[in-house]
Structure 1
């Protein structure tokens, strides 16, 4: 069955949206460029995944939710993601496109840290937002990045000034609660020179909610800055998700990614890092579990420009039922990136005859004095392992769960953010039962 991919929203709608939000002219112009590109640019073409019939364009864009004054007024599942509130709790809760709840400690505000909704940042920190918005991800990359620029309706802005170390995690929760919603969420994280910060985000949706999620995160690590970015995505089976996460790293800077990509619906995920500075570093660890009939495409790629730059990609995925996933790993070492090192490992475990997994590691080397390597494996559950466990009185389901735990453990135990690791374990247990 073909799907209508014509945009519901036109230039007049976008212009009125910007006017209603009282946005500056530069953002109005950005939205205008976006809606024009959305009419003419092609869809992205993820490797080995046909997305022409996926719903990226039919949705309700004007979705709002209520604001609350305390954690106790939030839905219980969101409260469970936050835990107990205390003086070190720093959290933004976005429900649909509304910043429903916010708690940011005076301690980090006094250090000059900005942690707020993107809409509020546009009004109060417009020059900073303009500098970074749609710089890591370009408006004209494809039809869906252009549509994102035109219809941004939510997101977070996090700015850490020079020489500031934030020693408590900052958390943002994004919950889709309206059926038929279109969430165009944009996250910007800026860590200036010699700063450090840990940011954690959770994406979720109500169980029976159908929606379109078009998400972009842009992360900028300045000279000798460190960003730990943790995420657990748990959209339901009727949510079509496009997720771009991009990192730009300067001299001796570092971005570490801990990603639990646990959506139940069709998903495209692109995690791309540009190591511009000498001595820059990135480390990406990703865990996925696919089930049902969902189709997923994951791309992890690193571009080395700086000398002595270093990257590591580690992806482990489990496919159940009739789920299928493509894992694309690309390490590109550009000419001049001497002494660079790039490593990647991709492993996929299939639990049923109809499950499909495909791992595609690629090294592109334009410089001689470098080191690089890759490893990949795709296979089914070892029947001898299963037989051994079952011969000890363990049921087949429990035996499979133990094998899955062991398969994912090398990635999960290496995640640097405790709360992301704990949340991932909960989600994995739920998905493999």
Structure 2
């Protein structure tokens, strides 16, 4: 059954918005196709999570924001995320879905690296954008992807040419100051042959305001290339989050995902890595904390097509209060992916009797000559660990905090930027307090 969505958005609105942004005809047509499909397609059906009553379009789509000339104009919370001068030198900042500041070092520009907001990239690098946009997360997958395509209002384009290694992290910040403004960001990363890059993303949300975050990331990892994608997601409790991150990895390429999924609102998060080339590898690590009455659904999936491909999945979650979450780890090895290896672990720590967390490791194997394994656990704080720490004079609250931080540490340690790692730890401590 198709879910009807009441909205004031129309074909005329989308056309007017696209014209106002100065977009090319091909992008307008893409938006209009998304708009038309949004009325025909059904919502996705995440396992054991009913999203039919979740917010789809109750948000402000567009506000005007003035550019910022210097990072010194930013509020303290945003400056802390960016960190030192090196971080401020390679960064793109969005405020309420609008690009307001960006910087890229002359050295990286001279090497042909492109790192800019999507609106600018469409105007300056349209051919590249058209080649890759909506190729991994397609418009017609379901209602949410169609709505996303129609209403994209922000995003990042990161392009690294062949044989170029970027040895400093490139940062983006999506700063939602107005809690009613919806974020519809599209992240597009292209790393060509034998290149290397680390992309670091922060989402900072207002405490009050009902809105939607309909997010898509597409990552193209070329032969021999290496991409690290690190993110800390932290929007407010009244923001509904639909998050789709997807990567395709060519021969001998590698992608690292290090995701701190800290949103306080209802969340569907789908992370997919396609290991299409021989010798391709993927490592997906995710940390989640649920609290209040959140409902969340997380998928980490690796699909192996390449021979001798290797996919590693690790997910650690802490659930408290009356929060509910489903965690599906999926390793799928296709016929012909001989010598492939798929390993996964999902662990959930519950801090209250009302919290619920389901960890489901899934292996789908269509090839004989492979190795694969899985592990899963759901439980409460280890009383022996707690007793040991308390017997050393540590108060119970502090002992529980240390156990939780130790439980989440395997993912936290993968964050490639010290400032971002520190922020993730601060968010974790605030959420479990």
* TM range, smaller chain: over 0.9
Gaps of 5+ in 1: none
Give TM-score scaled by structure 2 length. 0.96
Specify the SS of the correspondent of 1:6. coil
Q: Is the 8 A contact 2:258 2:411 kept in 1?
A: no
Deviations 1:377-407 (A, max 9, x none): 0011123333343344433321211110121
Contact kept, 8 Å, 1:63 with 1:178, in 2: the verdict is no
Q: Say if 1:260 and 1:424, in contact at 8 Å, map to a contact too.
A: yes
Tell me the CA shift for residue 415 of structure 1: 4.1
- Counterpart residue number, 1:206: 206
**Rounded Cα–Cα distance in structure 1 between residues aligned with 2:86 and 2:171:** 14
Q: Specify whether residues 148 and 414 from structure 1 end up closer, same or farther in structure 2 by C-alpha distance, changes over 3 A only.
A: closer
Question: In 1, are the aligned partners of 2:81 and 2:420 still within 8 Å (CA)?
Answer: no
Q: SS of the counterpart of 2:274?
A: strand
1:368 maps to 368
How far residue 104 of structure 1 moved from its aligned partner, in angstroms, is: 1.0
Contact persistence 1:88–1:105 (CA under 8 A): no
Counterparts of 2:343 and 2:419, CA distance in 1: 26
Paired residue for 2:308? 308
In the alignment, the residues of structure 1 paired with residue 206 and residue 59 of structure 2 have an alpha-carbon distance, to the nearest angstrom, of 16
Q: Which residue of 2 aligns with 1:237?
A: 237
CA offsets 1:176-199 (integer angstroms, 9 cap, x no match): 122321211001000000101000
Q: Decide whether aligned partners of structure 1 residues 248 and 379 sit closer, same or farther in structure 2, where only a CA change above 3 A counts.
A: same
- Residues 85-136 of structure 1: CA deviation (Å, up to 9, x unaligned): 2497201110012211111111100000010010101001000000110101
Q: What is the distance in 2 between the residues matched to 1:397 and 1:224?
A: 47
Distance 2:415 2:22 in 1: 41
> What does 1:102-181 align with in structure 2 at a 5 Å threshold?
102-181=102-181
Residue of structure 1 in register with 2:431 after alignment: 431
Mapped contact 1:258–1:417 kept (Cα < 8 A)? no
Contact 2:279–2:306 (CA<8 Å) still a contact in 1? yes
CA distance in 1, matches of 2:205, 2:425: 19
Following TM superposition, the consecutive aligned residue runs of length 4 or more in structure 1 with deviations greater than 6 angstroms are: none
RMSD: 1.5
Q: Which residue of 2 aligns with 1:383?
A: 383
Specify the alignment match of 1:226 in structure 2: 226
Q: Which residues of structure 2 form unaligned runs of 5+? A: none
| 1:64 Cα deviation after fit | 2.7
In 2, Cα distance between equivalents of 1:87 and 1:207: 26
**2:394 paired residue number:** 394
Q: In structure 2, what is the equivalent of residue 288 of structure 1? A: 288
Partners of 1:347 and 1:87 lie apart in 2 by 33
In 2, distance between residues paired with 1:131 and 1:59? 30
**Structure 1 residues 4 and 367, CA gap change in structure 2 (3 angstroms):** closer
Cross-structure match for 2:73: 73
CA contact (8 A) 1:305 1:337 kept: yes
Structure 1 length normalisation: TM-score? Answer: 0.96
Partner of 1:259: 259
